[in-house]
Structure 1
Amino acid sequence: MEFITCSCVFLAITGFFMFKYQVVKYKWPLETGNFGSTNELTLSSFSYSELKRATNGFEEGLSRGSVGALYKGVLFKGEKLVAVKRLEKMMNDGREREVHAEMHVIGRAHHRNLVRLLGYCAEDSKRLLVYEYMSNGFLAYLLFCSKTSPDWNERESIALDVARGILYLHDECEVPIIHCDIKPQNCLMDDFWTAKLADFGLAKLLMPDQTRTFTLVRGTRGYMAPEWSKNIPISVKADVYSYRVVLLEIVCCRRNLDVNASKPEVIILINWVYKCFINQEMNKPVCSEEVNKKTFENMVKVGLWCVQDEPALCPSMKTMVMMLEGITDVSIPPCPTSSSG
């Protein structure tokens, strides 16, 4: 069970290969806390004793996942809060080789809407990763568990933050990256309530001239694109499909699947929102909350455009961002063809 009172970065990727493969060519001056140029690969190597001291003996747990636990820490003479991931399970050799390339690229990635990987420890059998600390927790908690839901302007901003982070992975990185696990539990909020994508443990890299690839099924049920179950190549559109669920969850501040819903037709958010949209009953998904009607309907249409079984029917992330920004008009979406994910 996750400790949600303190936020964290849940990134389940390994640093085992760091020493054998010279991925890291630049190091921070540990005394100054200089994070270097945004164009450099600025991962730092830490000793196990340094990180043990930084976390006060791994005292304050932030979360526990399938591959290890995350702890709050302080580095650079108490000036920098960090999240330290202590890995407890290693990947097989095949996945480890794949992660070599992922770490190389993600270590270079720097965007305001991505949680930043800062450093690592690979000492004997000990494997730890260090990330920037996110003080305002998981987006999932903010949407589904908080006593006070974000207001409409905040939700607009969050939706765009997440979309821009995905766009960066798809179009602006060294090579295209498919995140493969877009969901509110993998989005975190920083000091200024900016949403950032986290957890690149399932990420899949494409070659510069590659648009689709075969890979083992990855992701979380309810957010996964249909192509994962059809044994066909996946593309960046898999993330677009997942984002549509997150977008509608942000808009309505409720989970896509609510088994405790009062009426059967309300259980699956996507189907219910589409029915409300067609029947011009858009006050229902937001419980008559005061929202900007124009942007609300625009965001709903963008979300509904991405629920098709055929990836070619889903717009690109760039198009989606332009739709959300109001640069591109959003036409009436077709009826959802899939909602099971």
Structure 2
Amino acid sequence: MSESASYDCMFDSGNFVLYNKNDFIIWETFRFPTDTILGGHILSSDCQLLSSLSDTNHSTRRYRLKMQIDGNLVLYPVNTLDIVTEAYWASGTNGNNLKYRLYLSHTELLQIINSTSMNNLYSHAFDDIGKPNSSIIELSALEDKDLCKVNGVCGFNSFCTLNDNQPYCVCLLGTDFVDENHTSLGYERNFLEVRCGVGNDHVASFNITTTVDMMWKDIPCTYELMSTKEECGKSCLEDCNCDVALFINSYCQRQKLPLRHVRSDTSQNTVAFFMVGIRSWNETIPSPVKHSVYMFTSKKVIVHIHALILAFATFSCLALGISGLYMFKIRVLRYKRLKENETLDLTKGLALNLFSFDELRRATRGFKDELGKGSFGTVYKGVLYKGKKLVAVKRLEKLVEEGRTHHKNLVQLLGYCVEGSKRLLVYEYMSNGSLADVLFKGIRHPNEDERVRIALDVARGILYLHEEYFGLVKLLMPDQTRTFTMVRGTRGYMALEWQKNTPISMKSDVYSYGMVLLEIVCCRRNVNVNASIPAEIVLSTWVYKCFVARELDKIVGGEEVDKRTLENMVKVGLWCIQDEPFLRLSMKSVVLMLEGIIDISVPPCPTNIPM
């Protein structure tokens, strides 16, 4: 309310009204309904009623009844768009170019009326005991009484079925409750989603489970014509981006979780395939192959079998012994070479402090305070020089030979330890925590200037590694700038070439930077399964759709920011996460664009973003 109330009035109709000093109405409950419509109350165009949790708890639950501007009275689940695919009932009164309203008369007649002539277009009456009066057209959202056809009756990743004519929600295979105390929140995957880029045996960690007569409305990532259902299930197992697949009418549609509005449908003879992590289940999954058992009774045959087993075991032990000795000698030679070279290739051209292992063990209190763990070793917090200097000590678990870098945006190497097989590196300690702590865990989010500074500092550090320190562009031949290597990184920040086992280049770092840049802009993680609107679950998808719709203020929560700066940072981020490496920017271009030195063209839609 923009003005003060002078007095109020509670009418017999149940309408509570506030008046100003000039006796004009400034607020009334009939204009702002919640879960109830009273006799004499008119629900105006573009207004809605929200269902309550119970008769005593009026918190908003899962459904809404909206009198749309087009004259259609529609039932939707909450937190959904006003589109046909989300609705599960509509009055069908739209398209007459008239403004309609929902009206409950004092005679308990619920009507959709013309707001100008008060003509009754649609009626629904109740008798004195609250039951529908058969003499009036009945307003029924579910004429066939199948409550599972109500969109939103079950949460994400749950399957609706009927139990004694009541809807009953069952979790999809491979999922568990998000919160057992709030079942409407749905279910989430109960196994680690790591299927691609981990070797040829990754398929053995997963199993395809099938279910028949199941349907859902979610838009698939891929839609292909296939001859058999077996071919559809196999294609999902081999697709890194497939969690579920549906074979219907000779078509296979593959997509990722979460699923919404899953229900039984026996009319179309469908087969659903679910990717399930075998190691996440306590039960044993039966093998589809039947094995035959052979019994040997001849002593001669048994002796031969024992001899073969003994010979094989002896040969295996001998091979393992030789391999172990060979590997040991190689490691000894490498360590000896590194020991003879006291700089270890870590101190080349620069003086570093040499620490003893006992000194670093005391500094880290026996390596107790772990800060993090990477692919080459674990990092611990330590204190040197009688508590005056905080450091981060990296205890190497694999032999590394790397040069020393020095840049204001990179962590500085202070010293090292070499004692036998023990290899440790001592870095400066970053007391302010990680970037994730600043963006997601801080009391306040960084302001616009701080976000621009962070994005530029990170970009300059990567540019230094790409061109100024390693000098990959200048020193390597063209066929040496791309390489095949094992996956190292966090899912969601890794370019598609990591998953496809295609050559890796510096453009893979650009993709990861692009995802981090979008997180810096929005101060949220790239995946948020708890997002209230499905379109906001994946950050890159949400940002691109807001960019196309020219609604970038949504991604910063309505915060007052410079629109040009915001748009430039988003465009740089979208250019960096293009699927094709050749489309991505170089880090030098990223720095120049963020500094405002060169203009930024409109980026195309990344192909991994569904529209």
1:331 aligns with 2:601: yes
1:220 CA drift (Å): 1.6
* Greater C-alpha Rg: 2
Instruction: Tell me what 1:315 maps to.
Output: 585
SS state of the match for residue 528, structure 2?
coil
Aligned mate of 2:356, from 43, 47, 54: 47
Q: Give the drift of 1:211.
A: 2.1
Q: Residue type of the partner of 1:282?
A: L
Q: Look up the match of 1:198.
A: none
Query: 542, 555, 558: which one pairs with 1:285?
Result: 555
Aligned residue among 387, 390, 393 for 1:84: 393
Q: Determine the structure 1 residue equivalent to 2:151.
A: none
Corresponding position of 2:458: 162
How far the C-alpha of 1:72 sits from its partner, in A, is 2.6
% same residue: 61
* One-letter code aligned to 1:70: V
Cα distance between partner residues in 1 of 2:565 and 2:340: 50
What letter corresponds to residue 262 of structure 1 in structure 2?
A: S
1:171 aligns to 2:467 (yes or no)? yes
Offset at 1:312? 0.6
* CA distance in 2 between partners of 1:26 and 1:216 (Å): 24
* Cα separation, 2, equivalents of 1:257 and 1:295: 24
Give distance in 1, aligned partners of 2:505 and 2:370.
36
C-alpha contact (below 8 Å) 1:24/1:43 kept by paired residues:
no
Give 1:48 deviation, angstroms: 1.0
- 2:491 and 2:345 map into 1 onto residues whose CA distance is 38
Give distance in 1, aligned partners of 2:501 and 2:527.
25
Aligned length: 274
Give the aligned partner of residue 339 of structure 2.
19
CA distance in 1, matches of 2:364, 2:598: 47
Conservation of the 8 A alpha-carbon contact between 1:251 and 1:300: yes
Listed as ranges, the matches of 1:1-341 within 5 Å are: 18-19=338-339, 21-24=341-344, 40-58=349-367, 60-63=369-372, 69-76=378-385, 78-87=387-396, 90-91=397-398, 96=399, 99-100=400-401, 103=402, 105=403, 107=404, 109-176=405-472, 208-209=476-477, 210-338=480-608
CA–CA distance in 1 between the matches of 2:338 and 2:360?
Answer: 17
Post-superposition shift, 1:42? 3.3
Q: Classify the secondary structure of the residue corresponding to 1:130.
A: strand
For the structure 1 residues 66 and 233, does the alpha-carbon distance in structure 2 shift closer, same or farther, using more than 3 Å as the test?
A: closer
CA drift of 1:136 comes to: 0.1
The letter of the residue matching 1:310 is E
- When the two chains are superposed, the root-mean-square deviation of aligned CA atoms in Å is 2.7
TM-aligned CA deviation for residue 260 of structure 1: 0.8
- Once the two structures are TM-superposed, the CA of residue 26 in structure 1 deviates from its matched residue by 8.8
Given that residues 511 and 584 in structure 2 are in contact (C-alpha distance below 8 angstroms), is that contact kept between their aligned partners in structure 1?
yes
TM-score where L is the length of structure 2: 0.42
- Mapped to 2, the partners of 1:228 and 1:79 lie a distance apart of 43
Whose RCO is larger (CA < 8 A, sep 6+)?
A: 1
Cα displacement (A) at 1:310: 1.1
The whole-number CA distance in structure 2 between the counterparts of 1:320 and 1:26 is 30
Counterpart residue type for residue 418 of structure 2: A
Contact 2:527 2:537 in 1 (8 A): yes
Q: CA 1:335 to 1:66, structure 2 compared with 1: closer, same or farther past 3 Å?
A: closer
Question: 1:61, 1:70 within 8 Å by CA — same for their partners in 2?
Answer: yes
Q: Write the deviation string for residues 231-279 of structure 1: whole angstroms up to 9, x where unpaired.
A: 3222110100110000000000000011111111101101100100110
The secondary structure found in structure 2 opposite 1:19 is helix
Of 49-58 and 215-224, the range deviating more from structure 2: 49-58
C-alpha deviation, 1:58, in angstroms? 4.0
Distance 1:145 1:43, change over 3 A: same
Higher mean C-alpha displacement, 61-70 vs 219-228: 61-70
Q: Distance between the aligned counterparts of 2:364 and 2:355, measured in 1? A: 13
Question: SS at 1:40's partner residue?
Answer: coil
2:411 is paired with a residue whose SS is coil
- The CA deviation at 1:152 is 1.2
* In structure 2, C-alpha distance between the alignment counterparts of 1:339 and 1:224, rounded to whole Å: 15
Instruction: Say if 1:268 and 1:339, in contact at 8 Å, map to a contact too.
Output: no
- The alpha carbon displacement at 1:121 in A equals 1.6
Shift of 1:64: 5.1
